[in-house]
Structures are given as structure tokens and as C-alpha cells.
């Protein structure tokens, strides 16, 4: 896992808005990376998340009141702002952004932000009409001109039922932005994006291969790893097309989603998304499909004999993208889900398919990788095998995305 945030102190300011629920996951992600997290919860924020839940996750007292005698005596607002290495405002509501831009200090959150001498990262979240309002755009530009960093907002379905810009960036995207700032990115601009201008295709989830209108062949893939990779690449500035089989994962923000069911549909969607610089084939694609889907539900005939299913091989999406004669992505990354001889089988697969990298993992009985939240992987390249420690799938995604960014910087420069 990236160690940039290890030992760093983050002051997270949670303002009002339905996106405040994401702040709870953000606390967990920051702490997973070794950061200490203190939180300021505004009155509006407390309408959506409780001080108890914030305190439980951060393992710190939650600060809410500017004029609290207890808080000011133990941890005054000046000290609160100065002891942090980075201030993160997530969500940053239109109201709080306006206060920040005007230099107001009429509550704890705005006072801390005005009193700090540390970098500030804010993640806007609001209704799309509010985001597009000239006053909000003006405030956003003022904050950037004042040297603050921004991440998001993304586009998509909003809690109010409308569709458009205004979704708060996903926690992993905010974490990646925080890591960039701590690592020394220039201030006063939106967070630097090393993959800006690059286009990525990511496949995720299982495929369903129909037997009849009711039944299908599938596997236990949840899509967690592929979706996390798509979010991490988008967080580093890539234009991402996520080709996803059936899953229950939330759609990552700032990512174009192409929902499919079968392997043939997944291949067609990948080919339609070309040209691309990067292809990450993280989906667990069914190797086989039934030669002919029954038009009606198959019935038992009373003989006790199961129906004969004639299986044919599915298209090989990884090999197809890796072995293209023209328009091949510059970097093709495959996944190898193995139950034995994990590294040996993955090395053979990399050579056989023609991809550049393989991410290998053990999905055998007892590993709980399929559908689970953690993964232990080996990154296999032509030159080396990197054995990564067990970590959450989103941390695997962040680490892989940064390796991909480093690859393009090393081979093509920052451009």
C-alpha cells in the first residue's frame, strides 16, 4: 500500500449534504493508509451523519462548536488547523465554498479554514444547477486562485433525482488527491493528474452466459476489484470506460459505464471503446458458453436425465486486445485468478495471451477473494514478479493505478 499518508495528520471537515455519508468511508480509507484523522462536523453535516459514527471511525473526538469551552480549552481552533498536515473538505457544500471564498469565519469549519497555513483539498458536492450557478463557479475559481486544491465533482445520477455534474468524488479519488498533495504537487490548481489525456478501458465483474431465458453460467466475481481500478485510474486523471458485467457495485464517478451480460457483449463494448492507451482486463469472463440458448425454459422430461449442454469457447478478450495488429493499447494488463501454482500459471498466461502485465491472485477455497474485500496479488511483468502484501481491494487498485501512471511517465514523459 502507498505509504505517502503514513504518520500524516488529516483534518477532515464534513459539511451538509447527502454525500456526507461518503465521508465515513473516507475516514476509513485514510486510516488504512496510516493517517491520523480528526474531524470537524458542521451543523448541516450532523443532519446526515452522527458525531458518534464519525468519532467511532476516526477514533478521535469530533469538533462541532466554535464556542465550546471544553473544545477550545483542550484543542483550540488555531491549534486544530495548524497541527494538521492537510485539511480536506468533503463534502464541500455550495454554502461552505461561498464562505471559504469570501473569507468568512462564523462557525468552526470556516474559522479553521481561515486560520490554517496548511494545504486545503476540497471536494464539491451539490445539485447540478447549484454547481452550474455563476456564483458557485466564481467561488470555485477564487478558491483555486487562492491556492486551494480541488477534486471533482463527478457527473451522474444525483440524490435529488437529477442527472449531471455535482456528485462528490469517490473516497478513493479523494485519497489519491490527498496523496498527490502530500507528495508535493504544486498548489493553487486542481490536483495534478498524471494520467490526464490517457484513455483507459477497464473490464469488471462476471459474465452471464445464457442457457435459457431463466438460467445462465456464471461465477462468483463481485466486480469490487475492477470497479476500484476504474475509480483509481479516473482519480489520476484518465478518461475511463468501465465495461461491467452484472454486479451490485456503485458506479464510480467520472467514469463512463458500459453494462453488459455476456462475454461476446463485453468484447464488443471493449472494441467500441477503442482507441485506448490502457486496457485492464479485471473481469472474470466465462471461458465457455452454451452453443445455442434455448428459446423457452428447459423442462424436466421425467427421465431423470439432465439435458445435454453443448459448450463452446468464449472469445478471449485479453488475447484479442493484446494481439491487435493495429490500435493496440500501449499497456494491456490482465488478471489471472488461479487456485494452484499461482505465479507459474500467471507467467504462462502472460506469455500466451501477449499482454504486458498480469495481476495474479489465489482464488482457491478459503481465500475469500471472490466477493471479498481483500486481495493478495502478484504483479508479473516481462522483467519481474512483485509480491504485494494482503490489502483491501481499493488499495490494490490505487497501487496498480500509480504503477500504471509511473509506467507512462517513465516511457513517455509527463507530457
* Domain ranges for the chain: 9-182, 199-297+305-412
Decide: 194 and 26 in contact? Cβ < 8 Å: no
Whether 199-297+305-412 and 9-182 are alike in CATH topology: the answer is yes
The confidence score (pLDDT) of residue 187 equals: 39
Cα distances (Å, whole numbers) of residue 7 to 30, 34, 277, 387: 11, 6, 35, 24
Of 183, 185, 116, the C-alpha closest to 150 is 185
**Res 223 pLDDT > 90:** yes
**Rounded Cα gap, residues 348 and 234, in angstroms:** 30
Grade residue 409 by pLDDT with cuts at 50, 70 and 90.
Answer: confident
CATH of domain 199-297+305-412: 3.40.50.10300
Grade residue 369 by pLDDT with cuts at 50, 70 and 90.
Answer: low
Q: Which residues pair with 86 in a beta bridge?
A: 10
The confidence score (pLDDT) of residue 43 equals: 93
**Mean pLDDT, the chain, whole residue set:** 88
**Res 147 pLDDT > 70:** yes
Residues that are catalytic: 160
Of 89, 151, 141, the C-alpha closest to 114 is 89
DSSP 5-35: TTT-EEEEEE-SSTTHHHHHHHHHHHHHTT-
Grade residue 93 by pLDDT with cuts at 50, 70 and 90.
Answer: very high
* Cell matching residue 301: 422430461
CATH 3.40.640.10 fits 9-182, yes or no: no
How far apart, in Å, do the first and last CA atoms of the chain sit? Answer: 27
Query: 3-class DSSP state for residue 278?
Result: strand
**Rounded Cα gap, residues 300 and 67, in angstroms:** 74
Grade residue 314 by pLDDT with cuts at 50, 70 and 90.
Answer: very high
- How many CB atoms lie under 10 A from the CB of residue 257? 15
Amino acid at each position: 500500500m502507498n505509504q505517502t499518508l503514513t504518520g500524516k495528520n488529516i483534518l477532515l471537515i464534513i459539511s451538509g449534504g447527502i454525500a456526507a455519508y461518503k465521508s465515513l468511508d473516507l475516514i476509513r480509507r485514510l486510516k488504512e493508509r496510516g493517517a491520523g484523522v480528526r474531524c470537524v462536523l458542521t451543523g448541516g453535516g450532523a443532519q446526515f451523519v452522527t458525531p458518534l459514527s464519525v468519532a467511532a471511525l476516526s477514533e478521535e473526538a469530533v469538533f462541532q462548536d466554535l464556542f465550546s469551552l471544553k473544545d477550545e480549552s483542550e484543542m483550540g481552533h488555531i491549534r486544530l488547523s495548524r497541527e494538521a498536515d492537510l485539511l480536506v473538505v468533503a463534502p464541500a457544500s455550495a454554502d461552505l465554498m461561498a464562505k471559504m471564498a469570501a473569507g468568512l469565519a462564523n462557525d468552526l469549519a470556516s474559522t479553521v479554514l481561515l486560520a490554517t497555513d496548511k494545504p486545503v483539498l476540497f471536494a464539491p458536492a451539490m445539485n447540478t444547477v447549484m454547481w452550474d450557478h455563476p456564483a458557485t463557479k466564481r467561488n470555485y475559481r477564487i478558491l483555486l486562485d487562492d491556492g486551494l486544491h480541488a477534486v471533482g465533482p463527478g457527473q451522474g445520477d444525483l440524490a435529488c433525482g437529477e442527472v449531471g455534474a455535482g456528485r462528490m468524488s469517490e473516497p478513493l479519488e479523494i485519497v489519491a488527491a490527498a496523496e498527490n498533495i502530500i507528495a508535493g504537487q504544486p498548489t493553487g490548481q486542481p490536483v495534478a493528474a498524471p494520467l490526464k489525456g490517457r484513455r483507459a478501458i477497464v473490464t469488471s465483474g462476471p459474465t452471464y452466459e445464457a442457457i435459457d431465458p431463466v438460467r445462465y453460467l456464471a461465477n462468483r466475481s463481485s466486480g469490487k476489484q475492477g470497479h476500484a481500478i476504474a475509480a483509481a485510474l479516473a482519480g489520476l486523471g484518465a478518461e475511463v470506460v468501465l465495461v461491467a458485467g452484472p454486479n451490485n457495485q456503485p458506479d464510480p464517478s467520472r467514469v463512463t459505464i458500459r453494462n453488459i451480460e455476456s462475454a461476446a457483449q463485453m468484447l464488443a463494448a471493449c472494441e467500441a471503446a477503442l482507441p485506448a492507451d490502457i486496457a485492464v482486463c479485471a473481469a472474470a469472463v466465462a471461458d465457455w458458453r452454451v452453443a445455442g440458448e434455448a428459446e423457452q425454459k428447459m423442462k424436466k422430461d421425467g427421465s431423470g436425465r439432465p439435458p445435454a449442454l453443448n459448450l463452446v469457447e468464449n472469445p478471449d478478450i485479453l488475447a484479442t486486445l493484446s494481439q491487435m495488429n493495429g490500435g493496440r493499447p500501449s499497456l494491456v494488463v490482465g488478471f489471472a485468478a488461479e487456485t494452484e501454482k499461482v505465479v507459474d500459471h500467471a507467467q504462462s498466461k502472460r506469455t500466451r495471451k501477449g499482454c504486458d502485465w498480469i495481476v495474479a491472485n489465489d482464488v482457491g477455497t478459503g481465500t475469500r477473494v471472490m466477493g471479498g474485500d481483500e486481495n493478495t496479488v502478484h504483479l508479473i511483468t516481462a522483467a519481474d514478479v512483485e509480491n504485494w502484501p494482503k490489502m483491501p481491494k481499493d488499495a490494490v487498485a490505487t497501487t496498480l493505478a500509480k504503477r500504471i501512471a509511473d509506467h507512462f511517465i517513465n516511457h513517455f514523459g509527463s507530457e
